[in-house]
Amino acid sequence: MPELPEVETTRRGIEPHLVGRRVSRVIVRERRLRWPIPEDLDVRLSGQRIEAVARRAKYLLIRAEAGTLIAHLGMSGSLRLVDAALPAAKHEHVDIVLESGIALRYTDPRRFGALLWSLDPLNHELLSKLGPEPLGGDFAGERLYELSRGRSMAVKPFIMDNAVVVGVGNIYANEALFAAGIDPRREVGSLSRARYERLAEEIKRILAQAIECGGTTLRDFVGGDGKPGYFQQELFVYGRGGEFCKNCGGTLREIRLGQRASVYCGRCQR
């Protein structure tokens, strides 16, 4: 599933080609995504100039003059720029064709993504209750510490809760906990303020590094230019259960936490 760095990579890739350009038409070949694509999307978006391409959590916000297209890549989706004349392949469900002759093409084999229209996107039901952005000034270790008091859940699902902080998906939760030396099974209420401060800094560092690497390609993610990310070369624990720890040489353990694979080092993480 594309996580925050992959979505931000896509945003950065498509933004220069969309902002200031006018949409000539929208071609919808398949409306049945996680939620149906609005029947009147072509009418609403055609003729509109794109004013901004922003991101909130894992949602892309393509803001036009009269409203905003909310895009979510689901589990297997991608948005990439192609020549509008290029014939669509299987699973290429939507083209947003620009007057420049370029099309923003939405591909989604599993159809778990979404393309929705909103006049007030930040107050849309999908976005209105989200926590702070991890790379923004509103997120810090103090927030994690305060929200964790009196709670007994494990720390890994805690930092993956979008009401706590957005965009810390499974890959980056594994990596941040390893970098901070925290066992993913630890009860959140048992961790000190200092350890949360370290964890928040590692979340910020690792997400920023992943964005610079263009995201992590584990199955079928590509950025807006169609190129894969390469942060997987930097992974210390995710997907490496049973292999050696790059820090101490011990064997990495793999368990299930919240129905997600969690890999950690029993020596380095406490």
For the sheet with 50-56, list strands across it.
Answer: 50-56, 59-64, 68-72, 114-118
* pLDDT value of position 214: 75
* pLDDT value of position 233: 61
* pLDDT value of position 3: 87
Q: In the annotation, is 234 catalytic?
A: no
Under DSSP, the state recorded for 153 is S
Which homologous superfamily is 4-123 in?
Answer: MutM-like, N-terminal (3.20.190.10)
What are the boundaries of each domain within the chain? 4-123, 141-265
Q: Which residues are annotated as a binding site?
A: 91, 110, 151
Under DSSP, the state recorded for 191 is S
Q: In the annotation, is 31 catalytic?
A: no
Q: In the annotation, is 90 catalytic?
A: no
Among 204, 71, 210, 63, CA closest to 138: 204
* Catalytic-labelled residue, pool 11, 56, 58, 198: 58
Q: Please state the separation of Cα 147 from the chain's center in Å.
A: 23
Amino acid at 194: A
* pLDDT value of position 218: 38
CA–CA distance, 270 with 264 (Å, rounded to integer): 10
Contact 83, 227 (CB under 8 A): no
The CATH class given to the 141-265 domain equals: mainly alpha
Across the chain, the runs of DSSP E, i.e. the strands, are 23-28, 50-56, 59-64, 68-72, 78-83, 92-98, 102-107, 114-118, 252-257, 260-265
Contact 188, 155 (CB under 8 A): yes
Mean pLDDT for each consecutive 10-residue tract of the chain (270 residues)?
88 96 98 97 97 97 98 94 96 97 96 97 96 95 98 97 95 96 98 98 95 62 47 80 97 94 97
Q: In the annotation, is 204 catalytic?
A: no
CA–CA distance, 155 with 184 (Å, rounded to integer): 6
* pLDDT value of position 216: 59
* pLDDT value of position 267: 97
